[in-house]
Structure 1
């Protein structure tokens, strides 16, 4: 989370759950967090935090791996939330 002078707080959110739901729907299969961790190489604890904590602060490396896993761009995966 970042506070800008006179502008309030902003947060960059990872839309992990939304992309996981879309991938599950497209592939017509249930995808567990453990499967995401195994298939992407991202640690299970990090995947769990991304799924359950909207304000979780992750690394660019994780964002890059998730973009490859979900076949998307960072601009699609990330959302800026103003006045959080």
Structure 2
């Protein structure tokens, strides 16, 4: 599973989705789906724009979480 940390980053920086959409020209719906982690796909140019605007690395924005490991840990 891929975890998106956009909501955490925006919260820490006190930014709103509407500000991000206006400043980056990324569709507000796209940003909302990333914020709520309901996006099923992301264009590379969106990731590039977000990383540039937020001055962050891709691994700070997105994280791979192995759901098998999470499931195994809860079984113990």
Which TM-score tier does this pair reach, normalised by the shorter chain? Answer: 0.7 to 0.9
- CA deviation after TM superposition for structure 1 residue 55, in Å: 4.5
- CA deviation after TM superposition for structure 1 residue 77, in Å: 1.1
1:41 paired residue number: 25
Q: Going by fraction, where is helix more abundant, 1 or 2?
A: 2
1:77 paired residue number: 61
Give the TM-score normalised by structure 2.
0.76
- In 1: Cα distance, 2:9 partner to 2:34 partner: 12
- CA deviation after TM superposition for structure 1 residue 81, in Å: 1.2
Q: Where does the alignment leave 5 or more consecutive residues of structure 2 unmatched? A: 69-76
CA RMSD, Structure 1 to Structure 2 (Å): 1.5
Q: Where does the alignment leave 5 or more consecutive residues of structure 1 unmatched? A: 1-10, 25-30
Aligned length: 67
Work out whether 1:18 is the aligned partner of 2:8: yes
Give the TM-score normalised by structure 1.
0.70
- In 2: Cα distance, 1:55 partner to 1:83 partner: 16
- In 2: Cα distance, 1:13 partner to 1:60 partner: 16
Q: Going by fraction, where is strand more abundant, 1 or 2?
A: 1
Q: Runs of at least 4 residues of structure 1 off by over 6 A?
A: none
